[in-house]
């Protein structure tokens, strides 16, 4: 619980600076310092246990289904990093109070700083890999906001964007690696993962997992070839650089190297990858740092170099290398943070960070100069300072390792080479800024010493450098031992943190580097000329060009090709995709024929099927002649009715027949208002493409149907058949399903139908139309209404209405029902319009169809609600026998009321659609009808 509180404190504390912002800058800083100070107290309360080797754990279920838990652990390694994060954070807050000018929004700055602090604490204490990734991303996001703190500046925005892109991309790779790792181990719990190193290393996925996780680590810790973002992140305020880019965030990468050391290390791939990347980064960073004129640029490359050194140590095959790596992480954090702060003071008090302008500042800021001198000495590895001890250990391990077999001597040689440059840039840092002739007139601001409290954090850090350098065992001996024990997951190898180990090879190498480094600095001008002859690469421009190329140019090409604005193109891709998905499902099938014997062919069925096939193909081939194609289509539709009749579906046959008539009438009406021919606007290639898509879709569906048809059936229909008479009071099971068992579906369906009808009514309102009579390409017949139809129609209406009533009444027991009866009535009424014209019909049918639709849906709904008054669920049906004189015994069910609703809705919707379409037409022909 205490442990969770340490991580939670900064997150809760985010509100403090925002609140105390209005009470002045000092109050704001004090409030911000509260959470880390409390955190430190809590952390130290755990110190005795943790330093003794205990692991404190805290766990709370979050999303256990995903293996994601709020699990934290505090072991030696976590303790070390927590200490760095909290203590340096506290110093940075103090420093930031004096660094920020009164124009800068301090509340925002401290709030973001606390947010970052919380995320960072989460990374180092997470005991669940997914949780770790989560916090990892949170550090990327909060550092993005911190780097772009001065968001009015273009370089800050661009630097922040680059840092986020690189670390974010690495984070994604790491997430992939972690997911694979979790899959291999079977758990994301760090305790389990760390204990299954053997299993992971022998798994076939190990190389993939390792490379993915290393990608995340290397991007975060600015390792070659991803180092380029760090120098550009220097556009952040200096406290941010001091905190994120020396002590904490960039250390997250090497932290993870240490954290996963027991699980992932120990293979040749690990040693080669980690040590080579570290070696290249260390050398590249050290050499580049010497030639940077910007003080923060120098420190940024120096940081890259030192991170490379730590990475290299984790990649060496000696156990002591890990101890050296952890030791150097601590030392680097202390001296680099203080150097950044010193640069901040120089920048703050002189207005520039350019080493070509700065000179002789010792006279104006003696205290800062002295502190800077000591810190830079630690960076260069001068004896009696902490940097010396870890560098000696590093050189010792560089000599002892055998990573490259016969070529292993390369590593110590390159290490000395890098160290030469490290010494040279350390001397340059101090000499060019604080020594030499003073020339205050060249500076933007008259230089003077900074306030004491701004120097105090540096003083503390430099004091630590000295203390650790002189009495290492006393200060950090136990802490280092605890952290290294955690990382190595075994008892420690023997080592001693003494200052003097006697004359040995590492000491000799150090001395050689010191001498050569001094020589190099003396010849700086000559080296600089050499350096400037190298082709200069602007990482920012290269990166932005790359991103622009990928995101804008390439992406647009891909999008342009897929989304070319043609709906036909989209649809063909969609259908092809569906075919592929369905085909891959069918692929595993051993044989298409499932073994059920095929039923015999009979001549009528074959004839119907053949006619349907031929007419369907004709309608596709001759679709340019729309009326002809529509005729073919209607033949297919009538064939459908026959098929339904053939295969024991009389209800469907009746419905299909009536719907077919209504549909064809509708399409004929529409054709009057659309061009009667389609122009030929598909190229040959398009026709072939569409033909292939259509063929593959057809074959796919056909194969699917055949495979199902030849396999035994399992159905849930038996329930309906058994309960139709007893439960629904009807023998026509299809109708009973519609109005009773699944009445709610039918209710939804007639509602949809009503909505469609009203939608059509809305679409027709205010429609601009082409006058078909003005189309010169079409010859319209000038006949009045056909006489034969007129005469025949007279007896048809009453007959049709009677048939409808009959069909409706018998629907519950025999084929029929509200749907079919409604369609028959609608057809009979439409026939009136067709035969007699709109004017004649409207005079005789003077009602609106909207209320009819509404009444239908309402009646169906009320019938359903009615069952509530009897305490039964929605749409429960009741039925009983009645004796009616003359007609005899009949059975009535409340479902019939529901069916009346269906009937009314169908009649209303159909007529609403068709009559209104007819009216459109009449607008143009009204004058003719009046004649």
Partner 1 sequence: MELLFAILIAILTGTGVYLLLRARTFPVVMGVALISYAVNLFLLAMGRLRTGEPAIIGSGESYSDPLVQALILTAIVIGFAMTAFITVLALRARGELGNDHVDGYEEHGREPERQRQARNAADNQDGAEGTAGEPEQ
The least CB distance from residue 734 to partner 1, in Å, is: 5
Residue ranges in 412-441 that form contacts with partner 1 under rule CB under 8 A: none
- The whole-angstrom separation of Cα 228 and Cα 517 is 25
Cα-based angle 508, 511, 512 (whole degrees, multiple of 5): 85
Taking the C-alpha atoms of residue 855 and residue 912, their distance in angstroms, rounded to an integer, is 14
What is the residue-wise DSSP string for 87-121? Answer: HHHHHHHHHHHHHS-TTS-HHHHHHHHHHHHHHHH
Q: Which of 112, 389, 636, 852 binds partner 1 (CB under 8 A)?
A: 636
Q: How far is the CB of 720 from partner 1 (least distance, A)?
A: 6
Residue 538: φ, ψ to 5° = -90, 105
Among 759, 786, 798, 851, binds partner 1 (CB under 8 A): 759
Pairing of strands 56-63, 68-74: antiparallel
Q: Closest distance between partner 1 and the C-beta of residue 209, in Å?
A: 33
Report the site for partner 1 in 878-907 (rule: CB under 8 A).
906
The candidate with the shortest Cα–Cα distance to 37, out of 13, 3, 1, is 13
Give the pair of three-digit tokens for residue 91. Answer: 């110093």
CB of 312 closer than 8 Å to CB of 223: no
Q: Which of 644, 808, 833, 898 binds partner 1 (CB under 8 A)?
A: 644
Least distance CB 671 / partner 1 (angstroms): 7
Q: Of 770, 785, 847, 868, which lies in the binding site for partner 1, with binding defined by CB under 8 A?
A: 770
C-beta closer to partner 1: residue 448 or 548: 548
Question: Least distance in Å: CB of 230 to partner 1?
Answer: 15
- In the list 60, 498, 717, 802, the residue contacting partner 1 (rule: CB under 8 A) is 717
Closer residue to partner 1 (CB): 432 or 732: 732
Cβ of residue 688: shortest distance to partner 1, in angstroms? 11
| Residue 298 or 379 having the CB closest to partner 1 | 298
Residue among 423 and 739 whose Cβ is closer to partner 1: 739
Task: Identify the CA nearest to 141 among candidates 114, 123, 160.
Answer: 160
Give the nearer residue to partner 1 in terms of CB position, either 466 or 697: 697
Binding mask 493-532 for partner 1 (x = CB under 8 A): ----------------------------------------
Nearer to partner 1, 66 or 763 (CB): 763
Site map 608..627 versus partner 1, x via CB under 8 A = -x--xx--xx-xx--x--x-
Tell which one of 525, 537, 558, 767 touches partner 1 (CB under 8 A). 767
Is 312 a residue that touches partner 1 (CB under 8 A)? no
Tell the smallest beta-carbon distance from residue 766 to partner 1 (Å).
9
Beta-bridge partner residues of 63: 68
**Locus of tokens 């350098």:** 469
Binding mask 795-834 for partner 1 (x = CB under 8 A): ------------------xxx---x---------------
Residue 2 or 708 having the CB closest to partner 1: 708
Largest CA distance in the chain: 129
Using CB under 8 A as the binding rule, the residues of this chain from 210 to 249 that contact partner 1 are none
d(CA 610, CA 598): 19
Q: What are the φ and ψ backbone dihedral angles of 846, each rounded to 5 degrees?
A: -95, 50
State yes or no: cis peptide before 225, omega within 30 of 0: yes
Count the Cβ atoms, other than its own, within 10 Å of residue 441.
6
Interactions with partner 1, residue window 527-556 (CB under 8 A): 538, 540, 544, 547-548, 551-552, 556
Q: Decide if 371 contacts 455 (C-beta within 8 A).
A: yes
* CB of residue 628 to partner 1, shortest distance in Å: 11
Contact set for partner 1, span 678-707 (CB under 8 A): 678-679, 681-682, 690-691, 693-695, 697-699, 701-706
Please, which residue, 431 or 742, has the CB nearer to partner 1?
Answer: 742
Burial class (CB in 10 A: 0-12, 13-18, 19+), 303: buried
Identify which of residues 670 and 792 has a Cβ nearer to partner 1 in the complex: 670
With vertex at residue 312, the alpha carbon angle to CA 311 and CA 314, rounded to the nearest 5 degrees, is 65
Which of 666, 803, 892, 897 is close enough to bind partner 1 by CB under 8 A?
Answer: 666
Return the closest-CA partner of residue 225 out of 161, 295, 159, 304. Answer: 304
User: Which residue of 59, 352, 438, 663 would you call a contact of partner 1, by CB under 8 A?
Assistant: 663
Which of the residues 728 through 757 are near partner 1 (CB under 8 A)? 731-734, 737-738, 742, 745-746, 749, 752-753, 756-757
From the list 102, 715, 779, 869, which residue makes contact with partner 1 (rule: CB under 8 A)? 715
- From the list 629, 669, 613, 614, the residue with the least C-alpha distance to 830 is 669
* Phi and psi, residue 448, nearest 5°: -155, 165
**x/- map, 108-137, partner 1, by CB under 8 A:** ------------------------------
Q: Which residue has the tokens 């024991």?
A: 648
Our CB check for partner 1 shows the closer of 258 and 893 to be: 893
| CB-nearer residue toward partner 1: 315 or 816 | 816
Nearest partner of 509 among 420, 628, 404, judged by Cα: 420
Say how far apart CA 483 and CA 53 lie, in whole Å.
9
Sole binder of partner 1 in the list 542, 589, 674, 865 (CB under 8 A): 674
Task: Report the residue number, 50 or 754, with the smaller CB distance to partner 1.
Answer: 754
Identify any residues that bridge with 268 across adjacent strands, giving them in sequence order.
Answer: none
Binding mask 161-200 for partner 1 (x = CB under 8 A): x---------------------------------------
Residue 260's nearest CA partner among 304, 194, 340 is: 194
Scanning residues 552 to 581, which ones bind partner 1 (CB under 8 A)?
Answer: 552, 556, 564-569, 571-572, 575
Contact 548, 161 (CB under 8 A): no
Task: Evaluate whether 375 touches 328 at the Cβ level (below 8 Å).
Answer: no
Asked whether 426 and 336 are in contact (CB, 8 A), the reply is no
Which residues face 56 on adjacent strands?
74
Which region, left, alpha or beta, applies to residue 267 given φ > 0 means left and ψ of -120 to 50 means alpha? beta
Question: If we measure between CA atoms, which residue out of 260, 170, 176 comes closest to residue 217?
Answer: 170
| Residues 325 to 354 in contact with partner 1, rule: CB under 8 A | none
Question: Which 456-485 positions form the footprint of partner 1 (CB under 8 A)?
Answer: none
- Using the minimum distance from each CB to partner 1, give the nearer residue, 594 or 837: 594
Compute the least distance from the CB of residue 644 to partner 1, in Å: 7
Token pair recorded at residue 590: 């051993």
CB of 168 to partner 1, least distance (A): 16
Which residue in 125, 112, 139 sits closest to 15, CA to CA?
Answer: 112
**CB neighbours of 841 closer than 8 A, spacing ≥ 6?**
832, 833
Smallest distance, partner 1 to C-beta of residue 897, A: 19
600 binds partner 1, rule: CB under 8 A: yes
- Smallest distance, partner 1 to C-beta of residue 647, A: 5
Q: What residues between 134 and 163 interact with partner 1 by CB under 8 A?
A: 154-155, 157-158, 161
**Smallest distance from partner 1 to CB 916, Å:** 9
Contacts of partner 1 in 55-94 (CB under 8 A): none
**Interaction of residue 840 with partner 1, rule CB under 8 A:** no
Q: How far apart are CA 772 and CA 677, in angstroms?
A: 13
- CA neighbor of 838 nearest in space, from 885, 785, 891: 785
**How far, rounded to the nearest angstrom, does the alpha carbon of residue 127 sit from its chain's CA centroid?**
24
# residues contacting partner 1 (CB under 8 A) = 125
């Amino acid at each position: 619980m205490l442990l969770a509180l340490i991580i939670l404190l900064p997150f809760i504390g985010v509100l403090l600076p925002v609140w105390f912002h209005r009470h002045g800058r000092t109050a704001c800083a004090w409030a911000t310092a509260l959470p880390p100070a409390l955190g430190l107290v809590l952390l130290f309360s755990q110190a005795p246990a943790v330093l003794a080797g205990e692991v404190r754990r805290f766990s709370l279920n979050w999303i256990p289904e995903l293996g994601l838990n709020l699990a934290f652990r505090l072991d030696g390694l976590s303790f070390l990093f927590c200490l760095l994060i909290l203590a340096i954070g506290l110093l940075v807050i103090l420093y930031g109070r004096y660094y920020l000018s009164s124009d800068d929004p301090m509340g925002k700055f401290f709030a973001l700083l606390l947010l970052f602090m919380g995320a960072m604490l989460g990374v180092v204490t997470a005991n669940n890999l997914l949780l770790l990734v989560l916090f990892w991303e949170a550090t990327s996001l909060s550092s993005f906001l911190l780097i772009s703190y001065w968001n009015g500046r273009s370089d800050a925005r661009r630097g922040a964007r680059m840092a986020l892109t690189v670390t974010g991309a690495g984070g994604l790779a790491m997430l992939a690696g972690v997911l694979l790792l979790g899959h291999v181990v079977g758990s994301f719990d760090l305790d389990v993962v760390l204990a299954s190193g053997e299993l992971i290393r022998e798994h076939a996925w190990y190389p993939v997992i390792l490379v993915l996780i290393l990608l995340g680590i290397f991007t975060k810790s600015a390792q070659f070839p991803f180092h380029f973002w760090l120098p550009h992140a220097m556009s952040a305020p200096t406290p941010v650089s001091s905190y994120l880019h020396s002590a904490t965030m960039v250390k997250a990468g090497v932290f993870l190297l240490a954290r996963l050391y027991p699980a992932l290390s120990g293979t040749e791939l690990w040693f080669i990858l980690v040590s080579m990347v570290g070696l290249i980064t260390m050398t590249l960073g050290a050499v580049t740092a010497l030639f940077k004129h910007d003080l923060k640029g120098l420190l940024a490359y120096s940081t890259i170099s030192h991170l490379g050194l730590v990475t290299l140590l984790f990649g060496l095959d000696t156990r002591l290398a890990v101890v050296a790596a952890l030791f150097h992480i601590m030392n680097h954090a202390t001296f680099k943070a203080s150097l950044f702060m010193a640069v901040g003071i120089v920048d703050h008090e002189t207005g520039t960070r350019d080493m070509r302008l700065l000179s002789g500042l010792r006279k104006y800021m003696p205290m800062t100069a002295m502190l800077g001198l000591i810190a830079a000495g630690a960076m260069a590895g001068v004896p009696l300072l902490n940097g010396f001890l870890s560098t000696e250990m590093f050189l010792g391990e560089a000599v002892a390792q055998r990573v490259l077999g016969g070529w292993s001597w390369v590593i110590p040689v390159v290490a000395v080479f890098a160290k030469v440059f490290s010494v040279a840039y350390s001397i340059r840092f101090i000499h060019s800024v604080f020594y030499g002739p003073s020339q205050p007139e060249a500076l933007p601001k008259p230089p003077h010493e900074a306030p004491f409290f701004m120097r105090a954090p540096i003083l503390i850090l430099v004091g630590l450098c000295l203390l650790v350098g002189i009495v290492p065992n006393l200060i950090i001996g136990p802490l280092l031992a605890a952290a290294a024990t955690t990382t190595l997951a075994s008892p420690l190898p023997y080592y001693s943190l003494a200052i003097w180990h006697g004359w040995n090879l590492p000491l000799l190498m150090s001395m050689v580097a010191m001498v050569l480094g001094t020589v190099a600095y003396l010849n700086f001008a000559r080296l600089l000329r050499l350096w400037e002859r190298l082709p200069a690469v602007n990482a920012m421009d290269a990166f932005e060009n790359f991103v622009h190329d990928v995101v804008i140019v390439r992406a647009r090409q891909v999008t342009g090709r897929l989304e070319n604005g043609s709906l036909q193109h989209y649809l063909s891709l969609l259908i092809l995709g569906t075919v592929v998905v369905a085909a891959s499902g069918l692929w595993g099938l051993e044989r298409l024929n499932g073994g059920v014997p095929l039923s015999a062919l009979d001549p009528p069925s074959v004839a119907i099927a053949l006619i349907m096939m031929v007419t369907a193909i004709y309608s596709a081939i001759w679709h340019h002649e729309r009326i002809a194609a529509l005729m073919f289509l209607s033949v297919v539709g009538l064939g459908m009715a026959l098929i339904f009749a053939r295969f024991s579906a009389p209800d469907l046959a009746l419905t299909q027949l009536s719907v077919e008539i209504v549909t064809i009438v509708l399409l004929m009406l529409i054709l009057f208002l659309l061009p009667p021919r389609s122009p030929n606007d598909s190229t040959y290639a398009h026709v072939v493409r569409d033909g292939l898509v259509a063929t593959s879709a057809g074959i796919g569906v056909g194969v699917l149907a055949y495979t199902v048809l030849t396999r035994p059936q399992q159905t849930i229909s038996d329930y309906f058949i058994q309960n139709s008479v007893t439960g629904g009071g009807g023998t026509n099971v299809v109708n009973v399903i519609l109005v009773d068992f699944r009445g709610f579906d039918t209710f939804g369906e007639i509602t949809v139908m009503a909505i469609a009808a009203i939608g059509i009514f809305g679409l027709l309102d205010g429609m601009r139309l082409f006058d078909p009579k003005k189309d010169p390409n079409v010859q319209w017949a000038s006949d009045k209404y056909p006489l034969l139809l007129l005469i025949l129609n007279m007896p048809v209406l009453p007959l049709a209405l009677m048939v409808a009533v009959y069909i409706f009444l018998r629907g519950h027991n025999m084929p029929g029902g509200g749907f079919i009866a409604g369609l028959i009535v609608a057809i009979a009424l439409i026939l009136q319009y067709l035969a007699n014209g709109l004017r004649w019909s409207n005079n005789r049918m003077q009602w609106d169809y909207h209320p009819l639709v509404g009444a239908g849906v309402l009646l169906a709904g009320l019938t359903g609600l009615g069952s509530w008054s009897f305490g039964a669920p929605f749409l429960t049906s009741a039925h009983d026998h009645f004796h009616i004189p003359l007609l005899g015994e009949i059975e009535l069910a409340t479902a019939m009321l529901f069916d009346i609703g269906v009937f009314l809705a169908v009649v209303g919707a159909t007529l609403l659609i068709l009559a209104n379409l007819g009216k459109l037409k009449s607008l143009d022909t009204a004058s003719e009808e009046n004649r």
